[in-house]
Structures are given as C-alpha cells and as structure tokens.
Amino acid sequence: MKVKNICCIGAGYVGGPTMAVIAQKNPNINVTVVDLNEKRIAAWNDDNLDNLPVYEPGLDAVVGESRGRNLFFSTAVDAAIDAADMIFISVNTPTKTYGVGKGMAADLKYIELCARQIARVSKSDKIIVEKSTLPVRTAEAVKNILDNTGNGVKYQILSNPEFLAEGTAVEDLQAPDRVLIGGEQTPEGLEAIQALVDVYASWVPKAQIITTNLWSSELSKLTANAFLAQRVSSINALSELCEVTGANVDEVANAIGKDSRIGPKFLKASVGFGGSCFQKDILNLVYIAKSYGLDAVADYWEQVIIMNDHQKHRFAANMVRTMYNTVSGKKLAFLGWAFKKDTNDTRESAAIYVADKLIDEQANVVVYDPKVTDQQMYSDLDYLQTRSSEANQNALTVENDPYKALEGAHAIAVLTEWDEFKTYDWQRIYDNMHKPAFVFDGRSLLDKSALEQVGFQVYVIGQ
Ligand code: NAD
Ligand code: UGA
C-alpha cells in the first residue's frame, strides 16, 4: 500500500521536526501535525519562522519549504485522524510522578488517550506508528485498546523510535545513522512495515532501514539511550579521578577514544547529562528490569543515574568550597541554561540543579542563555518544588545581555556549551567583576590558560 495521508499526534521536539522532514522528502504525501496545545500550533503556523516553538538550526528552512504545500499544523485532532491512513504517535512519555512506579516508570497516560481517541474517531483501516519512546511491550496495550472498540476497523501497530538528538535534529533526520521499524511478523504486519519503509526510502538508503519484530524495536530505543548515557557517566566518573590525580580528562578521553572499538564520540566530560530522555529512559529501563525481578540488571543501570546526580552536586559543591565555603549574598553568573547548545530545551538541564543548590546556599544567581526564556527558567526551578515561586523569583535573575549578567559577579559558571561564549571579551568581563574572579567551566569550553592570563581563577571539570 502507498501512504497518502499522514497524521502525527504531538507537535513537540520530535513530532514537529520529524514530520517537517518527512513532508520535505515526500511532496506527494500530505502530513498534518496535530496537538492539543493551541499556543504551540499557532507558533508552528507563525509567518515569522523565527517564532517556531522548537529552536533547531536549519529547521526554519525545512518548515518554510513544505508548510502550506503538504505540511500542515492544526488543533483539529479528530479530523486529521479520520483523514489519515498512517498515524504517528509522538506525544510525551515523561516519568510518572504519582502512584505505582512513581519517579521511575514511564507515564503512558498520553499514549493511552491517543489510542482511545484513534479508536473513537477512525472509520477506515489505519497503520499506527509509535514514534514516542516507550517501554517494551507497549504496542500490545495499544493494540488491545484499538481492537476492542468493535467498529470493525483494522489496525497495524508499528514501532519506529526516533534517534535524533536536539540541536542537530535536522541533520540527524536528513542523514540518519539508521531508521528502525518494528512490526508484527504476519503478512499484514509485514505489509505495514513495507509502507513505512517506502516513506523513509524517499531519502534514506535501504541498507540503513532496519526492520525487526515489535519488541526488539521498542527495547532498542530505550537501550540505545542507556548506552549513550552510560558513556557520559563513565567519563564523568573519570573526571573526578582526574581532578585528584593531575590527569586531564580531555586528554584521557582522547587517548581512550582513539581505540576504534570505543571511538571518540560521546566522551566529553560535563557537569552532567540533561535532556528529556536519558534520565527518563534509563529510569524506565530500571523499572522494567525490576518488574521482571532482575534486580542486578536494575541496579547496574541505576548507577548511571546516580553518577549523573553526583556530578551535578559535585560541581555546585566545588563552587561553594572554592569560594571560601560561602556564596551567601554573592552574585553567581550562569552562562547557559539549556541542557546543551543549539536548543531552547531545558528539560533536566544540569543548570537547574546547580542553581537550586546554590540558591539553597543563599547565592544570587543571574542567568544568561541565548535561546531560553525567563518564564522557562522560573518554571524549571518551580518544578523542583524546593521553595516557593516567590523565593525563586527573588533568588534568580535573568539577563538578556551577557555582559550585564556578568558585571559585578563573584564567579561565572559555564553550564551550556554555546559557541558564542568563546567569542566574548574576557578582559572586559574580568575588569568588571569582583576579585578574585572565578570561572567554573562545566563544559571545558573556554581556553583555560587564556583566562588565567587575564587573571581569572579557573576550574575546568576533569582538570
Ligand atoms: P514534547 O513534550 O516536546 O511534545 C509532545 C507533544 O504532545 C506536546 O506538545 C503535547 O501537547 C502533545 N500531546 C500530548 N498528548 C496529546 C494528545 N492526546 N493529543 C494531541 N497532542 C498531545 O515531547 P518530545 O520531546 O517531542 O518527545 C516526544 C516523544 O519522543 C517522547 O516519548 C520522547 O521520549 C521521544 N523522543 C524525544 C526526543 C527528543 O530529542 N526530544 C528524541 C527521541 C525520542
Ligand atoms: C539523546 C540521544 O543522543 C538521541 O539519540 C536520542 O534520540 C534522544 O536522546 C532522545 O531519545 O531523546 P539529546 O538528549 O537530544 O539526544 O542530546 P545528546 O546530544 O544526546 O545530549 C544529552 C546530554 O548529554 C546533554 O546534556 C549533553 O550535554 C550531554 N553529553 C553528551 C555530555 O555531557 N557529553 C557527551 O560527550 C555527550
């Protein structure tokens, strides 16, 4: 079968960019991305492409090319479901914050709502594609809900997890390392798999499109993230050892990474990994392992998270210790709030936890980030529920001008590796700070010896 109408439920960091590229590469397929969030859809439809709700380099051009031609953003969820022959589910699957599995299991309420909505609205046969990251065997539950509505519509469920990383989403989508499609190994299942293979084959070489059974596909996504996060926690564990032994973690990473079996990528020591997926997906993996009674497996993967929490706390504690064991009343300037460069996403960003710790120590935190709004920063802090919103408002200030943010500060913490930080006039910054002036570089982004020559006292993670 040839797919003509695609609907994607969820216009977030995955749904928006993924559908924009599918539409760009398949001008003959109509792609409608729907969301309950009216503000988000309005932003996707904004005439000014600078106002798209997701910041990704190159995304404006891709959306600009197809929007209004075969790419549409809408809040009319039922109509889009009805018209589609293939429906992607790309809604959020956050960690549960209540009940059984609280703080660990994936919250599947949005997925279930989508399945029920599809079941209620559909009048013709459909292929349902799980794009969200899900626990292994979720497709079984989705199928169960869909098949028990009694209206005679036939569904095929596919798993097609997304591997894009934020900040490089467009590149990752246009030239993916691989596309993974899992489906039932029946004639109908294989036909559905082929229909989705054909969508991707418009631009992805066939050899890079992997097809598997449903459970392998679902589990591969969670474990791919776990393996990546494990590398960051491994190098971060070494960063602490480097600091006490005089080794330099960047040099160690370079030496390790030269072994082609290990490779150089994803070995950058940092203040800790953030983002919406690593923590949530590993916790979910831990939960799944536990629920099968595999405690040793669960403990093994949980250690990746424990190491990551330790790294964030260690960074904040080191700031306090270095500044004579008190930061009370001191102005501490943050460069960066996003969880990595080239994105406006802040979910689970290390900056949030570092700020929270320093505010506990009564510091005045001032933040500059080129793409994150002040409302977002306050809502990130409020989400931790450490103190009242009012107290967070008093403790944290947001500046739109980096030089203003750094003026009169006792210390600077580099928490996101935005390229523009490297281009600043560091002499001017030094001149306008309290002395001694400290830089705590959580990303080993800046040139340490150049900063030391200016007069800064510099701490770089892992050095
Ligand atoms: P997101 O929160 O940015 O977007 C999800 C959207 O779904 C929201 O806009 C929300 O309003 C909408 N939504 C929820 N329920 C809905 C419903 N019933 N009907 C219509 N809209 C609904 O999340 P995201 O970052 O795009 O992640 C989506 C999924 O993709 C998650 O499972 C995540 O783990 C996975 N994933 C994310 C990334 C990433 O880099 N962010 C990468 C790979 C996979
Ligand atoms: C990650 C994966 O890389 C994607 O393949 C996956 O699709 C996605 O999760 C997901 O499932 O959501 P993302 O979280 O967007 O992508 O960003 P990454 O580039 O993986 O970075 C995650 C965190 O690790 C960031 O805070 C980053 O700064 C940190 N990191 C990454 C390091 O500290 N060191 C590194 O060497 C690499």
Q: Is 221 left (phi over 0), alpha (psi -120 to 50) or beta?
A: alpha
CA–centroid distance, 111 to ligand 1, in Å, is 10
Amino acid of residue 402? P
pLDDT of 37? 98
Taking the chain (463 residues) in runs of 10, the rounded mean pLDDT of each run is: 97 98 98 98 97 96 98 98 98 96 96 96 97 96 90 95 98 98 98 98 98 98 97 98 97 98 97 96 97 98 98 98 98 98 97 98 98 97 97 98 98 98 98 98 98 98 97
Return the ligand number nearest the Cα of 92.
1
- CB 22 within 8 Å of CB 15: no
Q: Is residue 7 flagged as an active site residue? A: no
- Among residues 353, 354, 365, the alpha carbon closest in space to that of 392 is found at 365
Residue nearest to atom 3 of ligand 2 (CA): 165
The count of residues in the chain is 463
pLDDT of 149? 80
- CB 122 within 8 Å of CB 82: yes
Q: Which atom of ligand 1 is nearest to the CA of 10?
A: 7
Return the ligand number nearest the Cα of 304.
2
Decide whether any atom of ligand 2 lies within 6 Å of the 266 Cβ. Answer: yes
- Is 37 exposed, middle or buried (CB count within 10 Å of its CB: 0-12, 13-18, 19+)? middle
Decide whether any atom of ligand 2 lies within 6 Å of the 203 Cβ. Answer: no
Q: What is the DSSP string of 201-230?
A: TTTS-GGGEEEE-HHHHHHHHHHHHHHHHH
Q: Pocket of ligand 2, candidates 131, 225, 281: which has the most ligand atoms within 8 Å of its Cβ, to mutate? A: 225
Distance of alpha carbon 113 from alpha carbon 130, whole angstroms: 13
pLDDT of 384? 96
256, β-bridge pairs: none
pLDDT of 396? 98
Residue nearest to atom 4 of ligand 1 (CA): 12
What pLDDT digit, counting tens, does each position of 214-271 carry?
999 999 999 999 999 999 999 999 999 999 999 999 999 999 999 999 999 999 999 9
Distance of alpha carbon 32 from alpha carbon 79, whole angstroms: 10
pLDDT of 7? 98
CA–centroid distance, 180 to ligand 2, in Å, is 19
Residue nearest to atom 21 of ligand 1 (CA): 35
Question: What element of type H or E holds 456?
Answer: none
Return the ligand number nearest the Cα of 40.
1
CA–centroid distance, 275 to ligand 2, in Å, is 7
Residue nearest to atom 20 of ligand 2 (CA): 165
Q: Which atom of ligand 1 is nearest to the CA of 276?
A: 41
106, β-bridge pairs: 95
Q: Which atom of ligand 2 is nearest to the CA of 268?
A: 36
Distances (CA, A) of 82 to 91, 116, 117, 118, 406: 18, 13, 10, 8, 54
Q: What angle do CA 420, 424, 425 make, to 5 degrees?
A: 170
pLDDT of 247? 98
Q: Is 219 left (phi over 0), alpha (psi -120 to 50) or beta?
A: alpha
What pLDDT digit, counting tens, does each position of 444-458 carry?
999 999 999 999 999
Pairing between β-strand 5-9 and β-strand 411-414 as defined by DSSP bridges: unpaired
CA–centroid distance, 324 to ligand 1, in Å, is 44
Residue nearest to atom 10 of ligand 2 (CA): 277
- Among residues 393, 346, 395, the alpha carbon closest in space to that of 369 is found at 346
